[in-house]
Chain A
Amino acid sequence: MEELVKLQEVTKAFKDFWGKSKSLAVKNLSLSVEKGEIFGLLGPNGSGKSTTLKLILGLLYPNRGRIAVLGKPPGNNTAKQFIGYLPEEDYLYSYLNGRETLDFYGKIFNIPSRARRERIDFLIDLLGMKAYQRRPVGEYSKGMARRIGLASALINDPDLLILDEPTNGMDPIGTREMKNLLLELKTKGKTIIISTHLLSDIESICDRIGILYQGEFIAIDKVDKLLLPYKGEHHPLENFFIDKIQQEREKRDNKKKLEISKEKEETVSVKKSDIDQELLNKLLKK
């Protein structure tokens, strides 16, 4: 299978103004996403999901490691032609209406005017935005803005779709529609990387999932394989996720405690030996 996205031991640290490391967002991360696959990037808040996506898109540069998107380095203009991106927040031009927003991004992809018009009509129908297509985006509700954001990510009919919290702010109907849309895109052979912490959203649509915790994968495999021990439970992915995170947290806490106790033991033993030495000396003198 063709690998559309490949990350090799990627590390990204955020630094302060003086160049000192502030936080390690992603640590030795390796990942490969194949063509036609829906990959779910899961993790608690601040686990490095958005940073990973930004690294793939070339919005951030890794401190270490290599990234290839569609066989090219991230940020390559030829590769960008086939990528669609929906950020976690809606960054739209508030003075444009829905249709104008799509037209603007269509022009950025250099789509000829007739094809652009047809594509805009198709997307407006697909995402059910006909009623508010002429309203300025600044007046949109969160769900509406999410839809227009998704439409602008789909304007170029991308091969690789990167979605960061796509159902954020959407009502249950919108969430269901989004799920159906993603499944439809999957049948068309599109590759999707989706980042979310709403597990129920992606349980049924993802082929593979990876759970990020403090910038590292603590689990990455096919959904069926990972959820095998939880078969028959009411929310298998949710249970698996919580268990996994708790286990990892405990593991790391224990590791920390061990390190601290080791340090303490060493200092105590030195003191004891000192005291013993003094006593010994006194005894010897006597």
Chain B
Amino acid sequence: MNRRITAVTLNTFRDYFFTPAIITLIVFMLLIPFLCFNMSGDGTAEGKFKVFVTYSFLISSIILTVTNISLSCSSISGEWKKRTLLILDVKPIKRWEFILGKWLGILAINVILIICFLLAMTFSSILISRNLTRNFPEYRSIFTTEAELFPIPAAKSSPKKTSDFMSFLKMSPEVSEGEKETYAIPPRENMVWNFKGIRKSSGNLYLSYRPQTSGPEGQNIAGYWIAGNPSLPQPFELQISFPKDKVHRLQLPWEAVSVDGELNIAYLNFDPANMSILFPRSDFKILYPRGNYWINLLRGGANLLMLVTLICSVGIFFSCIVSNLTAILSTSILISMSYMHDFIEIMINSISSQIQTKETAGIIPHLSYPMLKFIAFFLPPLDKALPHSYIGNFLLIPSQYLGFLFIRIILLGALPLLILAIIYFSHRELGIPNE
């Protein structure tokens, strides 16, 4: 790049970047996503997503646009105020080089602000993904895999000791009960389920279930869970009591799963109140993470947000370019107008002296004199041009409007559709069956 443009760009960047205002702005850009973090929207995961993205982008785009206009205008008028423009005007730098350098300098600040915002968005979206998996069960399916379930009919004779369960665990299924809607286990009876196709991963293995009984509210249910596989010499057993009608997650050891990905689970109903226990089929699952947890987070939430963020950043960047360029050009036009004023003044003086000394005849000088006077009146002299920033602001209004329009189209129109599409396709891609 041209050495002069680079010099002006770096100088402008340095002039503004290390100011307390910009540093505060960077901190604010980093905080914006976190400020929008606790907005719940309409209460669904999708709503939370939408509100988070929309508000983050709306606030950041407004801040960026306002900052841009202010920085762009002051980048040139500041040089005039400090009178450094006087020195530069004597040096062999063309006006377009100076303006381009200024524009690129402000653009570089924008890029850094947007990068800060992107980083904050990425981090906060990871946090939001974690938050969503915790609070929204439907969102968990993005992160976890269900094992295939093959229930085995219960044995006719109830075992008295836990070691007797080995025989149950070693049993192969005779009748498929996969179509059953609820598994009912009477008191002192048991049931065995067989899961297949479990692939080992770095995360935890869970048994998720929602027990139901006819017992009173608040009273806990007690029983034994036994997990193992036919190749395991000794099964894992756990005596547990849990509240009724709530989803409960029981962490299981990965050792209980065979090399082929098979796992047998048995439940022995030892409820002290002698109540039958029911497990609805829809809530009875073996869950384990789909690959690495952090990669899952990125896949499930962050990457969707990142994509959206990138698209919106392009929008903001475009808006910054427009507002920045218009602001700089309008200020430059103002300065050029003042130079024009001086030129016209010279012409006026020459015509007036020609008329006075009668050097010229004809109507043209007599007509051009008032016309030039009229034009000169509307062109501010240089020392008057810059304080009249309202002219510059007037020129900036269309650019602001265009910038906001662009951002609004992206945020309010395309963005929710895009989020919906991404969520829809990500479900399909992960192959989670609809329950």
Contacts and interface: CB of A to CB of B under 8 A. Distances in A.
Interface of A: 15, 17-19, 57-64, 75, 77-78, 80-81, 83, 85, 87, 89, 91-93, 95-96, 104-105, 107-110, 152
Nearest to A108: B91
A28 B128 CA distance: 76
A81 B93 CA distance: 9
A60 B86 CA distance: 10
Given A19-B376, A107-B4, A108-B4, A59 B90 contact: yes
Interface stretch (B63-71, B236-244, B338-346): B338-346
B88 interface: yes
Contacts of B358: none
Given A92-B84, A93-B84, A107 B7 contact: yes
Contact of B384 (A17, A83, A109, A152): A17
Interface string B107-138: 00000000000000000000000000000000
A110 B7 CA distance: 10
Contacts of A15: 345, 381
B82 A80 contact: no
Interface stretch (B10-18, B205-213, B271-279): B10-18
15 contacts: A15-B345, A15-B381, A57-B90, A58-B90, A59-B86, A61-B343, A61-B345, A61-B346, A64-B346, A64-B353, A80-B90, A89-B83, A93-B82, A105-B87, A108-B88
Contacts of A64: 346, 349-350, 353
Chain B interface residue number, banded:
35 or more
A contact face: mostly helix, strand, loop, or mixed:
loop
Interface of B: 3-4, 6-8, 11, 14-15, 18, 82-84, 86-94, 339, 342-343, 345-346, 349-350, 353, 373, 376-377, 380-381, 384
A87 B86 contact: yes
A80 B98 CA distance: 15
A91 B92 contact: no
Nearest to B16: A95
Nearest to B83: A91
B14 A96 contact: yes
Given A19-B377, A77-B94, A63 B345 contact: yes
A19 to B, nearest CB: 6
B422 to A, nearest CB: 45
B18 A108 contact: no
A109 B91 contact: yes
A110 B92 CA distance: 9
B82 A91 contact: yes
Contacts of B376: 19
Contact of B87 (A77, A85, A95): A85
